[in-house]
Chains A and B, each alone.
Chain A
């Protein structure tokens, strides 16, 4: 979704914050696991739980990242056919795609909620030495999936509205990324490295 897309504009602050939080959790796990290895190797102390926390982090990072990746149109699509059909068919395919993503996201959030409720009902504890109550990491995980469902649903509704009066914008907002956009993204990383090198 491009920057003048109202859905993107509305969702970006929240989705970006979620992604940043996930990034800090990743950093935290990297530091904790390194400390764990060093403590185990040199002091024969087992801090324990790095693998467990790492597992929760991964599930939460994924859930927190889905909506941001959606806004950035980063979810991989095969563009080979869709690029070769006329704008009208393209618009139909893009609507189909937007609704399929939305339904998948809603289904994920719904089943995640059911899983969370089961953990609450059974007061499930992780079967690991930390004995973490499972509802704790699963609540964060569910929150991420709920945001994903919300953003995906908003996008699908918006795409459907656009179908009525502005198919061009529909294809621009919800279509496959153009080659230029993909490349811009893939090289951004290196360029920022170059820029800082030049400074």
Chain B
């Protein structure tokens, strides 16, 4: 129907529309609308209502607002403050001190939060004042928070994985399981990097925190219990077969309410704040999905995925070349696009190609999520950079960008590791499912 050239023109048009400052959802929709108008005729456009209903009336996607809601409840219950304080006691002796706490707290919070931006805002708010007060290097501080928080979408639960799973019909339970080992390894690598830098240049880290007494340290452990328990309940109900991944999100919300009650933070106004915020964020994501769903339909009927697959077959590129090409593609695109929109906009074309090449959909999901994590901390558009800078409230954004740079390089190396050692992602889901 439409060749690779036509598809490229369409893609550039979509990027162009985005650059004029149109909301991403509207740019996607307009591209689909023009494509359908020009090539498919009016009936296709008029079917939009039924498609919109079918696309949104989808229980699997219910997990998106549920996990956002869970994160909101936990943060407003003050769970993160306690978590940070506790970890700073236990990690204080490592070279780099509180920098490790940033990574550790991000890891724990990621285990209950489905979003990296929320993780950055949360950890940044807790960490920034104390780190400034103790004289930590601004670049390393902000970089470690921005990078550590990207784990939010790699460690389950992950909103990005839910959307990927629902768009590609890949098991969300398997995707969640596949994110665990790479997430923990990446967190470990972040800490190794921090330790290495701080051993070479000890002046970048602040003085060690004063020791607290053992009874105090033990007592503070109570604060890491809520995220661990919620994580275990959410993943456990999936693993034990009590609940599907979507249903487990509902259990997570109920547990979150339990924590809020236990911490005596549950009130009507707090509940309303959580709800309003959840609906605002979810609606933003879901409008992009409405448009992407329609674009997917138009792209599919126009035969663009087949055209691209045929093109790649003609060129004779193998899976490895394509993955390396996609790595560059997503690295560049990730610099300019908000990452969730980037995934949703590209999947309809990229995924059939990936499937055609025999690449494991679960592995590709993890690959894509790591590329999105990188996109979150590469300028000029990197939400985590901005959020961390915003929490910091002074100095130059360049500090954050430079601070995140070593982490970006580390993560690119990590993607290489994921390519040569795919079992890193696939081992756990194969064991569990």
Contact = CB atoms under 8 A, between A and B. Distances in A.
Touch test A–B (CB under 8 Å): yes
Interface of A: 16, 19-20, 22-24, 26-27, 29-34, 36-37, 40-41, 50-52, 54-59, 61-66, 68-69, 72, 74-82, 93-94, 96-97, 100-101, 104, 107-108, 110-115, 118, 137-138, 141, 175-176, 179-180, 182-184, 186-187, 189-194, 196-197
A118 B50 contact: yes
Contacts of B78: 193-194, 196-197
Interface string B144-188: 000000000000000000000000000000000000000000000
Contacts of B314: none
Contacts of B296: none
B52 A108 contact: yes
A54 B278 contact: no
B280 A19 contact: yes
Main secondary structure of the interface of B (DSSP, over half): helix
Contacts of B46: 111, 114
19 contacts: A19-B283, A23-B274, A40-B242, A64-B279, A78-B381, A79-B21, A80-B336, A81-B20, A81-B21, A82-B20, A97-B23, A100-B26, A115-B52, A186-B118, A189-B121, A190-B121, A190-B122, A194-B78, A197-B78
Given A76-B341, A183-B389, A187-B121, A65 B336 contact: no
A196 B336 CA distance: 37
A93 B17 CA distance: 10
B347 interface: no
Given A76-B23, A97-B22, A190-B124, 16 more contacts: A23-B276, A26-B65, A37-B247, A55-B62, A56-B57, A58-B61, A63-B56, A64-B283, A69-B279, A75-B25, A77-B21, A97-B26, A100-B30, A190-B122, A190-B126, A193-B78
Given A23-B276, A58-B56, A115-B53, A30 B380 contact: no
B100 to A, nearest CB: 20
A189 B118 contact: yes
B284 A75 contact: yes
B126 A194 contact: yes
Contact of B22 (A96, A108, A179, A182): A96
Contacts, number: 262
B21 A82 contact: yes
Contacts of A187: 121, 124-125, 387, 390-391
B276 A20 contact: yes
Contacts of B286: 58, 61-62, 65
A30 B66 contact: yes
A114 B49 contact: yes
B253 interface: yes
7 closest Cβ contacts across the A-B interface? A183-B390, A23-B275, A65-B283, A111-B49, A190-B125, A115-B49, A33-B250
B282 A61 contact: yes
